Chain A
Amino acid sequence: MSGQPLASLRMIIDSRFECVRLAGVALQAMAESLCYPRPEVRDMQLAVVEALNNAVKHAYREEPGHEITIDWAFSPQGVEVVIGDTGLTMNGLKVKQLEFDPDDLNSLPEGGMGLFLIRQIVDEMDYCTFKTENRMRLFKKMKPV
């Protein structure tokens, strides 16, 4: 991310959905207080919540008691979020397309929409494993108004 950050901070949450909710609400409050546009903040919140849900569900198999780190950086160019966990590693960032026939009930998706939504929302998305930590980085362009 380029540009001088307006603010950056680290949040550490436990691997529980209650804490994912808390992080989503925190992002919204911080971004809105920094005057980013509400629709973009709302979408970014959804992307971050989906990424955190993935960490809870897939990295930690919904087992509480594990740390998830969230590094936020707010700049004039946009919002960057790096999510770190030390659970199971994802097999790359294979984003499945959401394909279904609206007239065929059986084809409607019941899961697997998280990465698709993240991909739709953010401008940059990458995932890597460094030593024992998995990191997902999300960046969305938006300008404070």
Chain B
Amino acid sequence: MNLQEKSIGNVLVVTPQENRIDALVATDFKGRLVDLINQGHGKIVLNMNHVDFMDSSGLTAIISTFKTVSSTGGELVVCSLGSGLVSLFKLTKLDKVFQVFPSEDLACKALE
């Protein structure tokens, strides 16, 4: 799975370069995110700008990463959700768990 990573101050912005996060790539996705946490990144913005479809496997990968980073005192927020992902977060009520920002800039500012 192709992820773009960039640091803005002490915030790491991770942008999946795929338009689908499903059961085919979810395990790899989760593994890559956990690797980043293990490398010491504690403030992560997940920019979902390119993702227009995600199933519960992808969602589970994000929840699991959120748990891992939160348990070590870090933070993970998401930004730039398309309408399909907004719908998914609402259906599962995870919009009450995750901080969701409309843009990467706003997400980064919230973590700085």
Residues of A within 8 Å of B, CB-based: how many? 30
**Interface residues on chain B, size class:** 20 to 34
Question: B98's closest neighbor in chain A, by CB?
Answer: A102
B41 CB → nearest A CB, Å: 19
Q: Is the CB of A102 within 8 A of B96?
A: yes
CA distance A42 to B83 in the complex (A): 10
Question: A99's closest neighbor in chain B, by CB?
Answer: B93
List the count of A-B residue pairs having beta carbons below 8 Å apart: 75
Which residues of chain B are near A21, meaning CB under 8 Å? Answer: 20, 22, 24
Any chain B CB within 8 A of the CB of A79? Answer: no
Which residues of chain B are near A109, meaning CB under 8 Å? Answer: 60, 63, 92
Residues of B within 8 A of A (CB): 20, 22-24, 53, 55-57, 59-60, 63-64, 66-67, 70-71, 83-84, 87-88, 91-93, 96-97
Can you identify 18 A-B contacts, CB atoms within 8 angstroms?
Answer: A17-B23, A17-B24, A21-B22, A39-B83, A39-B87, A42-B53, A42-B83, A43-B87, A46-B55, A53-B56, A53-B57, A56-B23, A98-B92, A100-B97, A108-B66, A113-B59, A114-B56, A117-B91
